[in-house]
Amino acid sequence: MTLFCTEEWAEEFVDLLNNNKEYYINGKDWNDTITFGINADDKHPENWYLYLKLSGGKCIEYKCSENLNKLPESTFLYYGTYSNWIKLIKSQIDPIQGLITGEFHLRGPMMKIMNYTKAAEEMVSTASKIKTEFL
């Protein structure tokens, strides 16, 4: 089991994403940056951010931090509470549904990311394959 919101979890996620054929197919033209924001709540006391640089259906760079300002600026910021990330990773909600219900928020050009909804869904599918330990 890999503890969520750790460097080890981020590394495992990126390794799995870079070996996900469906992500490659659906994300090969998505050359951009996205940061996932996990906001503190009663289950996790600190914020945590995972920055991803995407190119050619792969993640070519990643960084994580408890401080968003210590990461490179990204085109997109997809964020929600730790508890809602648990639901997302356990496939209890999908990334688009989370935006519609207000459980997640997106900063960045919505129309641009809508071109890559299948790739975004594959990112979540990849995260759900990690044997994740939650606090």
- Does the pLDDT value for residue 94 go beyond 90? no
Band of pLDDT at residue 85, cut at 50, 70 and 90: very high
CATH code assigned at 13: 3.30.1050.10
DSSP code at position 31: -
Task: Note whether 106 and 99 are within 8 A (CB).
Answer: yes
What pLDDT digit, counting tens, does each position of 100-109 carry?
999 999 999 9
Average pLDDT of span 9-19: 98
Q: How many domains is the chain built from?
A: 1
d(CA 26, CA 21): 9
Please state, in angstroms and as integers, the Cα–Cα distance from residue 107 to each residue in 3, 22, 44, 75, 95, following that order.
Answer: 26, 25, 22, 8, 14
Task: Give the domain extent around 90.
Answer: 2-133
Average pLDDT of span 18-36: 97
pTM of the model: 0.95
Residue 135's pLDDT is what? 86
